[in-house]
Structure 1
Amino acid sequence: MTNACLFQSLQLGDIIIQNRIGMSAVTRRHVPNAIPSDLMTEYDIQRTLGMAGLIMIEGILVTRQGTELPHTPGNGDPEQTRGIVHRGGRHIYAQLCYVGRAARSVDPEQKLAGTVNILSADSINTSDLHPKPVYATSAFSARGGKFRHIPGISGYVTPTAVPDPQVIIDQFKQAAVNAKFAGLDGVGLHGANGYLMAQFLDSTANTRTDRWGGSVENRSQVGLEVLKAVIQVFGRNVGIKMNSHNGYNDVGMPLQETLDTYRYFIAEADNLNLAYITLLRYIAHANSEVEIDGKKGTIQHDVLESYGPYIKNAKVFLDGAISPEEAAILISAGKIDGAFTGLDWIAHPELAKRVLHGKPLDNVLDVIHMQGKPAQDWAVGYTGCPAVIYETML
């Protein structure tokens, strides 16, 4: 089996990407005041030159009120974002995110949410600020939670049920407007990892009794309405990433309910003429146990087998520790159209070139520096990864 199919072009919405090797959004870099930094620009430029077929830039907060982690960019400075677009002829999407009950009111970013514009925050003493409430689907917290960046804080907080989800839908739309103004090719919704989209879908997190809760159809409405809103901005150039099993942020239903819920949502989303749907598969080290019917466990199932038949219009991408060789097999078999990977792109700025030229992916991922420890060495393990130099730059 050769990897030639990985380098076939692919129509994706209104654009054509030059290969099937996409770069996942991997956040947690140094982002002062939620504005994408020059280091992030350098990182993305390296990987456009490294032949990423589609780059999904770092997870972008649609509002500071919906953040979970420090060093997470917001809507972005249009001029800075424009600097990375279309370098090396590559195409770039922004991943739009709202974490819901995974946020904490004591987080410095959360304290800034109601105080300053996300693009104009200067030095502010967050201890003097009164944060906006943590908005989520329903007014009860997730179980567990470890937050190493806030000393003395452990566990989730009890959120406030968002009175009218239309507020959040509008925030996603405005974030899409900002992304388009910056020159990005499209946007993808972060519908995975137990964040707000997944919380609305999940009956253990969504106990609403209004039109946004209860039945599968009702629980699907926020995600579908957000998709419709950003489609108004980007047309066909919209996608979504889903995972139905990882238990992250304490989201997880019994298997049959999971299958029924996600099959309905994915089929309805597919009817909206999306560019792609990314299915994030089960990875043991990246999944958490959830308590279902009094027992802890994981909700493992084959996402391609479970949901692939319900995707009839959008392109299908698979994410989750996929090697180039496995991606080529699945593409050749017609099971997927392309693959996203994240950590391999961090370690190898010219990953696709290595694959094309048959070079090994042998850089060791520097996890400690990748997470910004120590903080003064942000480039180490991020933009400073060794690259193979080729005589012919393709």
Structure 2
Amino acid sequence: MSITTYSTPLRLGPLVLKNRVIMSSLTRDRNIIPAQLQVEYYTQRAGAGLILTEGTLVSPQGTEWSNAPGIYNDEQMKGWKAIVDSVHAHNGLIFLQLWHVGRVAHPLLQHGEPNVGPSSIAAKGGKFRQLEGHPGHVQPKEIDDPEYYIDLYRRAAEQAKQCGFDGVELHNANGYLPHQFLDNTSNHRQDSWGGSVENRCRFTLRIIDECIKVYGNDRVGIKLGPSGGYNDMGMSEEDSIETFSYLVKELNKRKIAYIQLTRHWEHLDSVTPGKNIDIFQFKKFINSEHTKFFVNTNYDGKEGAQVLQDGQADAVVFGRLYIGNPDLAQRLINKNCINTNLDIKKFYGGGKEGYTDYPTYEEYLKLQEQFGVCPIRA
């Protein structure tokens, strides 16, 4: 029986991933309308088995950033198509992550439009660094008709398909809109969208069903964060396990391409600690013949390799390591050194610095030979 490694190809529905290194969604806040700089950024990382784009807004109302991309107008679609075409030309695959932040948006970042949520309950904490005084989260307007927002996701999936994306991923973690419907601390509705586990999962499953109508079940994925914490997600451990067990079972019935689960992570901005929930307990609800199991959050090369070798996951999703290592998949496969010297101040906003100027391993060796030490980032 062969051992699964980073270099082992993976069948994902009709697609074959050339390796099991997945590039996570990484908000970089540089491009309301994707342009040539973003073409370069994603093309540099086309060596990944699969690229998951940064969170991409289904509506201008749904943002917590001033310069995050969307897919709700023709200019944005043109920009994304150029990215997709370039990634495909470099033998890469790319899914668009569908994003609406719901109650953790701020009206001042969306032309005075109110932030919205399943209930009129503000998230605790928050820090909008782009606004004067760095205000925290504000009380949202309760959504009257969830179907309106589900339709926004459907239209975004249709536009992604027109751009040539290989599939779409629903961002259902980090306290964003679908996650807010799941959590009984942010969802106090008394109608068919709240209360029971089944009702709280309805919003997520309706979005998935609409995306399936557009792409087919085997080109749709989802990102889940059962541990909560970030953006004030705060269910009890018992409620979290019950809710996500039901949700994963329902997603498995739909035979979607993959389910990505994130581990517990104490984010610096969190005021709610979250629960350290074992994500591997949900794997038993997933039939790997049709739905793959991806894991994410703070994996290094060694731990990720062990997870694959032990058969605990089908692929490993890497986030911050993909910022400083555009050729991360090749580095992991070849067991080359990994650049962990990241300029955090340049994570969000700006131009090419801290974005497209990190060298590949081969470029690093040439710079080291020429200068004795890499003059950019050793």
The residue number in structure 2 matching 1:120 is: none
Aligned partner of residue 362 in structure 2, secondary structure: coil
1:347 and 2:329 correspond: no
* Cα deviations by residue, 1:74-129 (Å, 9 ceiling, x for unpaired): 0062332222221321100000011110011111xx11xxxxxxxxxxxxxxxxxx
Q: With structure 2 as the length reference, what TM-score do the two structures score?
A: 0.90
The residue number in structure 2 matching 1:37 is: 35
1:224 and 2:205 correspond: yes
Shift of 1:366: 1.1
Name the CA distance, whole Å, in 2 between partners of 1:134 and 1:285. Answer: 22
Residues 36, 81 of structure 1: 8 Å contact kept = yes
1:222-371 superposed matches below 5 A: 222-235=203-216, 236-285=218-267, 288-290=270-272, 297-304=273-280, 306-312=281-287, 313-371=290-348
Residues 3, 328 of structure 1: 8 Å contact kept = no
Shift of 1:59: 0.8
Aligned partner of residue 187 in structure 1, secondary structure: strand
Residues 53, 94 of structure 2: 8 Å contact kept = yes
Aligned partner of residue 213 in structure 2, secondary structure: helix
Shift of 1:386: 1.7
The code of the aligned residue for 1:320 comes to T
Aligned partner of residue 56 in structure 2, secondary structure: strand
Aligned partner of residue 273 in structure 1, secondary structure: coil
Deviates further, 350-359 or 12-21: 350-359
Name the CA distance, whole Å, in 1 between partners of 2:120 and 2:306. Answer: 45
* Cα deviations by residue, 1:293-317 (Å, 9 ceiling, x for unpaired): xxxx43112111x211122241000
Residues 58, 99 of structure 2: 8 Å contact kept = yes
1:90 and 2:92 correspond: yes
The code of the aligned residue for 1:389 comes to E
Shift of 1:3: 8.8
The code of the aligned residue for 1:369 comes to K
Residues 3, 356 of structure 1: 8 Å contact kept = no
The residue number in structure 2 matching 1:128 is: none
Shift of 1:324: 2.4
Query: Taking structure 1 as reference, are residues 3 and 320 closer, same or farther at Cα in structure 2, changes over 3 Å only?
Result: farther
Aligned partner of residue 5 in structure 1, secondary structure: coil
Name the CA distance, whole Å, in 1 between partners of 2:165 and 2:268. Answer: 29
Shift of 1:244: 1.2
* Cα deviations by residue, 1:236-289 (Å, 9 ceiling, x for unpaired): 200000001131111111110111011111111111111000000012346834
**Which segments of 5 or more consecutive residues in structure 2 lack a partner in the other structure?**
364-378
The residue number in structure 2 matching 1:124 is: none
The code of the aligned residue for 2:38 comes to M
The residue number in structure 2 matching 1:191 is: 172
* Cα deviations by residue, 1:12-47 (Å, 9 ceiling, x for unpaired): 12211110000001012311xx21122111100011
Name the CA distance, whole Å, in 2 between partners of 1:215 and 1:38. Answer: 47
The residue number in structure 2 matching 1:205 is: 186
Aligned partner of residue 83 in structure 2, secondary structure: coil
Name the CA distance, whole Å, in 1 between partners of 2:124 and 2:333. Answer: 44
Name the CA distance, whole Å, in 2 between partners of 1:287 and 1:332. Answer: 34
1:54 and 2:50 correspond: yes
Name the CA distance, whole Å, in 2 between partners of 1:369 and 1:97. Answer: 23
Name the CA distance, whole Å, in 2 between partners of 1:104 and 1:91. Answer: 33
Residues 363, 386 of structure 1: 8 Å contact kept = no
The residue number in structure 2 matching 1:24 is: 24
**Which segments of 5 or more consecutive residues in structure 1 lack a partner in the other structure?**
112-130, 291-296
Aligned partner of residue 240 in structure 1, secondary structure: strand
Query: Taking structure 1 as reference, are residues 166 and 245 closer, same or farther at Cα in structure 2, changes over 3 Å only?
Result: same
1:385 and 2:358 correspond: yes
Aligned partner of residue 331 in structure 1, secondary structure: helix
Residues 247, 287 of structure 1: 8 Å contact kept = no
Aligned partner of residue 55 in structure 1, secondary structure: strand
Name the CA distance, whole Å, in 2 between partners of 1:364 and 1:89. Answer: 28
Name the CA distance, whole Å, in 2 between partners of 1:386 and 1:5. Answer: 25
Shift of 1:11: 0.9
Name the CA distance, whole Å, in 2 between partners of 1:143 and 1:97. Answer: 21
The code of the aligned residue for 2:226 comes to S
Aligned partner of residue 326 in structure 2, secondary structure: coil
The code of the aligned residue for 1:44 comes to Y
Detail structure 1 runs of 4+ shifted over 6 Å in the superposition: none
Shift of 1:334: 1.4
Query: Taking structure 1 as reference, are residues 54 and 287 closer, same or farther at Cα in structure 2, changes over 3 Å only?
Result: farther
Name the CA distance, whole Å, in 1 between partners of 2:324 and 2:81. Answer: 24
